[in-house]
Structure 1
Amino acid sequence: MTKITLAVTGSISAYKAADITSSLGKLGHDVTVLMTEAAQAFITPMTLQVLSKRPVHTSVMAEERAEVVNHIDLAKHTEIFLVAPASADTIARLAQGRADDIVSSVALALPQGVKKVIAPAMNTNMYENSLTQRNIQTLKNIGFTEIEPKIALLACGDLGKGALADVSDIVEKIQEIITNS
């Protein structure tokens, strides 16, 4: 059983986190979910809690257990850190080394050797923007793997690259990373 931390960020594709959580759980993986405030506008923590059978973490300031610092403890118990969907904002936060929400704080606290994966989902212009591409390259340079978005009709009505990769492709990539570790 692999300990996967799934970070869900603010994108209309956040609802697909339910299928990702369920699929990884059915494969026997231990899935812990983190959610940004923006992600919670698209899907409730309760949905992901029921599917993961674990508490969902939404605030870096929530310290449920006095004996541990939550974001540090979560990072220590992560073997694969998956950000899906990864919004442009979260990608920028991660590339800058920010630690002002639960997702970026856990990411910054990850021990060396933890496999890190982003699956971007956003408008085509946002994805192709040179700033976003620079941030993605920065993340790749520090060991993140990108599961590229697909070309599709996006929620905004535009047709282009930016839709979250298919859940089956994300799960397959995680299984590949586990197999090759």
Structure 2
Amino acid sequence: LQVWNKMADPVLHIELRRWADIAIIAPLDANTMAKLANGICDNLVTCTLRAWDVHKPVLVAPAMNTHMWTHPITSVHLDVLRSLHYHIIPPVAKKLACDDVGVGAMASVETIVSEIFDRLPAKKP
């Protein structure tokens, strides 16, 4: 996979950092959450957010099995992301992909869109 040669910049994650006003990861799985919380940069998403301008908003909408969501390490990772000024859009309770019922489903698209509009930087005319 050639992650690095799209758009105008030979290093795509830097070009994306410059281009985007806001970053949204929806859904955010437990694996990517752990990578972000621990500074691992091994794909386009994690590299882009590692290079992210801390003055621009980052929204994440976690989605995972209830047992993963309630695991203590998830709480630790969420605390780290919050300390980095990530806005967490919490998951909701419903029937999950694994057929369990509980908290872990990604928030509704409507909720995520509302959160995005609440945090978009105001454009000056």
Give me the whole-angstrom Cα distance separating, in 2, the residues matched to 1:66 and 1:176. 30
Matching of residue 108 in structure 1 with residue 47 in structure 2:
no
Q: Give the TM-score of the pair, scaled to structure 1.
A: 0.63
Residues in 2 aligned to 1:143 and 1:83: alpha-carbon distance in whole angstroms: 14
Residue 85 of structure 1: aligned partner: 27
Q: Where does residue 17 of structure 2 map in the other structure?
A: 75
Choose the corresponding residue for 2:105, options 163, 168, 173.
163
Cα distance between partner residues in 2 of 1:81 and 1:102: 13
State the shift of 1:68 in Å.
Answer: 3.4
Using the TM superposition, give the Cα deviation of residue 179 of structure 1 relative to its aligned residue in structure 2, in angstroms: 6.5
Q: Which amino acid aligns with 1:84?
A: A
2:21 and 2:2 mapped to 1: Cα distance?
20
Query: How has the CA–CA distance of structure 1 residues 157 and 80 changed in structure 2, closer, same or farther, with 3 Å as cutoff?
Result: same
Letter in 1 for 2:91: P
Judging changes above 3 Å, is the alpha-carbon distance between structure 1 residues 152 and 102 closer, same or farther for their aligned structure 2 residues? Answer: same
Give the match for residue 122 of structure 1.
64
Aligned twin of 2:77: 135
* Match 1:95 to one of 34, 37, 55: 37
SS class of match (2:53): coil
Work out the CA distance in 1 between the residues paired with 2:116 and 2:6: 29
% identical equivalent positions? 33
1:59-74, aligned counterparts within 5 Å?
61-64=3-6, 67-74=9-16
Question: Per residue, is there more helix in 1 or in 2?
Answer: 1
How far apart in 2 are the matches of 1:76 and 1:150? 32
- Kindly state the Cα deviation for residue 112 of structure 1 after the two structures are TM-superposed: 2.6
1:69 alignment partner AA: V
Judge conservation of contact 1:60–1:70 (CA < 8 Å) in 2: no
Q: So what's the TM-score if we normalise by structure 2?
A: 0.90
Distance in 2 (CA, whole Å) between partners of 1:153 and 1:135 is: 24
